[in-house]
Amino acid sequence: MKVDETSCPARVSLLGAQAVMPTVQRFRHLIWRPWRLRYGGIHGERRRHVTRQDRLLRCTDGAVEFALDFFAKQSPTTPYLQLGHHMKKQFDWYFNPTKEEIDDAWKRGILTVDTNVLLDLYRYHEGTRDSLIQSLQKFEGEKWLSHQAATEFFRNRTKVIVSSEKAFKQAQDEIDKLNGSLESAVAQLKGNRIIPSEVASELEDVVRSSISTAQSKISTAKESYPKFLQEDPILKQLSEMFNDAVGEDFKEESREEIAAQAEERKKNKVPPGYLDDGKDEDRPYGDYYLWLQIIEHAKAKACPVVLVTSERKEDWWEKVSGKTTGPRPELLREAKQISGQRILIYQTERFLEHALQRFQQPVNETAIEEIRAVSTWRSELEVAVRLREQSVTESASDKNAGALRVELRRPVRNFTVSGHLNPNMANVPHLVARLISAPDSLPRHRINVGTGTTHDFNIHIICGEPGVQLPVGSYVFEYEATCEAQVSDVEAPSTPEI
């Protein structure tokens, strides 16, 4: 039933409410509740009509108070644009940026990225890597890297390179296991006198042909994969891109205060970074340090920011019913309040897509899908595994030993945990590790270890049974790193399956 809005005793302009409703509807991170109007008695059908509109105001208490106060004072004929203007004046950080604002950010703004956007370059195929680097290079404004992102990049670069190279060996291991399973299956079929003998022969021919093709492709890919530890074109391009454009670290006298702020935000679940509870030392605060350095730089430069991030977690992105709806509103508000500037936050694949469109280039769907797949894989792994403790039993430059206690929070086929060598080793060490405690239902598995630096190492555990996952629970690994002699190979040999 249509209601004559001019007869509403509260004099609420429904036209005005409709004008700004697309914006206030975006306050989805707060609790849904029907707001009650306090401006005069609204009864019967008129009350029901206004309440339906009012229930859409899913916004902060301050926004609701403003909206209701404002609408109550308006004439029903107040133009939409005037109402929208007043709302945007107080909540401009929450409105979608206009085309002009986006163009301004891309032409004179500051482009910055988080650590994993850089590290993921070592995980992509060459075409994806080149497409993303070229899009970053073509950005018209300032290209700038926070001190936090640069520090984390150099801390993790070697580890990511070694891990990527190890993927070829893991792929070959899977093919070898398939080959062994084939031999067993063929032998069983041949021993079954009821089954025609050609069934086993045909199966063996087809599968062995596929295995041979796969082995050849893996070998070719390994040979063509760049030796980044020897010659690194990615590092060269990044060094040129961010030449004289890396931010300063926090002053020493303010670091303790900033760390206390980060801890308080984490306790109160204030984004970003409050989900990084599994990291050691001050690394749970890394996201906040990066965020603070970015918005302080925007304030100093008085320029808008384009932030590219590989993050998928809810301490960066607002999610409703499992769907990502945009950056966390708290981040948009804080950036505007501290820097006075608008910030545009893109996930990596969305940045690439938007950049290619702006530069009038074909959208590289293959690259976009690969970026999305790598980001999803990494975020799922981060959520699954938490390092709870590293206990040290020996600590010297020629020998480090201790144990890592890990919590696996959901079943996975394999996972990796990283530890630190303190003090740093005299050279790249020889590393051995063994699993000393695990859930009772642990299936057959194998453990690989690797280190390409003098300050950290990786332990990988891989399920050895097809179709089976490692069970949830606590895992404890003992490790020993020694360097009596220089070890040329960056990875220790795999231990046999148990």
153: confidence class by pLDDT, cuts 50, 70, 90? very high
pLDDT at 181 over 70: yes
Mean local confidence (pLDDT), 425-441: 92
Predicted pLDDT at 159: 86
Predicted pLDDT at 166: 78
pLDDT at 355 over 80: yes
Q: Kindly report, residue by residue over 6-32, the tens digit of the pLDDT.
A: 333 333 333 444 444 444 444 444 333
How far apart, in whole angstroms, are the C-alpha atoms of residue 20 and residue 214? Answer: 57
pLDDT at 351 over 90: yes
Predicted pLDDT at 401: 95
Residue 359 CB: number of other CB atoms within 10 A? 12
Higher per-residue pLDDT: 216 or 276 = 216
Q: Kindly report, residue by residue over 165-176, the tens digit of the pLDDT.
A: 777 887 888 888
Mean local confidence (pLDDT), 414-441: 91
Predicted pLDDT at 50: 37
Predicted pLDDT at 193: 75
Higher per-residue pLDDT: 195 or 479 = 479
Backbone phi and psi for residue 410, each to the nearest 5 degrees, phi listed first: -155, 155
How far apart, in whole angstroms, are the C-alpha atoms of residue 435 and residue 447? Answer: 8
Going by C-beta distance under 8 Å and a sequence separation of 6 or more, which residues neighbour residue 82?
none
Mean local confidence (pLDDT), 200-215: 86
Mean local confidence (pLDDT), 37-61: 37
Q: Are 275 and 266 in contact (CB under 8 A)?
A: no
Question: 171-185, 276-290, 356-370, 436-450: lowest mean pLDDT where?
Answer: 276-290
Task: Give the total residue count for the chain.
Answer: 498
Predicted pLDDT at 48: 36
Higher per-residue pLDDT: 241 or 1 = 241
Predicted pLDDT at 281: 46
Q: Kindly report, residue by residue over 63-101, the tens digit of the pLDDT.
A: 544 554 555 455 544 555 555 556 666 677 777 888 999
Predicted pLDDT at 367: 93
pLDDT at 229 over 60: yes
CATH number for the segment(s) 385-482: 2.60.40.2080
Return the top range by mean pLDDT from 75-79, 269-273, 296-300, 375-379.
Answer: 296-300
Mean local confidence (pLDDT), 261-277: 81
Q: Are 488 and 229 in contact (CB under 8 A)?
A: no
474: confidence class by pLDDT, cuts 50, 70, 90? very high
Burial letters 42-73, b for 16+ CB under 10 A, else e? beeebbebbeebbebbbbbeebbebbbebbbe
User: What are the extents of the domains in the chain?
Assistant: 5-92, 101-160+233-363, 385-482
Mean local confidence (pLDDT), 336-359: 93
Tokens of 331: 């981040």
Question: 226-240, 242-256, 482-496: lowest mean pLDDT where?
Answer: 482-496
Q: What is the CA radius of gyration of the chain?
A: 28
Beta bridge partners of 474: 407
| Strand 473-482 versus strand 430-437 pairing type | antiparallel
Full DSSP string of 251-274 = PHHHHHHHHHHHHHHHHTTPSSST
Predicted pLDDT at 64: 46
Predicted pLDDT at 51: 38
Burial letters 138-149, b for 16+ CB under 10 A, else e? ebebbbbbbbbb
Full DSSP string of 315-371 = TTEEEETTEEEEE-HHHHHHHHHHHSS-EEEEEHHHHHHHHHHHTT----HHHHHHH
Please choose, from the candidates 97, 55, 28, the residue with its C-alpha nearest in 3D space to the C-alpha of residue 314.
28
Question: 1-5, 66-70, 193-197, 304-308: lowest mean pLDDT where?
Answer: 1-5
384: confidence class by pLDDT, cuts 50, 70, 90? confident
Predicted pLDDT at 112: 97
pLDDT at 349 over 90: yes
| Domain 101-160+233-363 falls under CATH 3.40.50.1010 | yes
How far apart, in whole angstroms, are the C-alpha atoms of residue 482 and residue 395? Answer: 11
Mean pLDDT of the chain: 79
Q: Kindly report, residue by residue over 86-143, the tens digit of the pLDDT.
A: 666 667 777 788 899 999 999 999 999 999 999 999 999 999 999 999 999 999 999 9
Percent of the chain scored above 70 by pLDDT? 77
Q: Are 460 and 484 in contact (CB under 8 A)?
A: no
Predicted pLDDT at 393: 94
383: confidence class by pLDDT, cuts 50, 70, 90? low
Mean local confidence (pLDDT), 305-315: 89
56: confidence class by pLDDT, cuts 50, 70, 90? very low
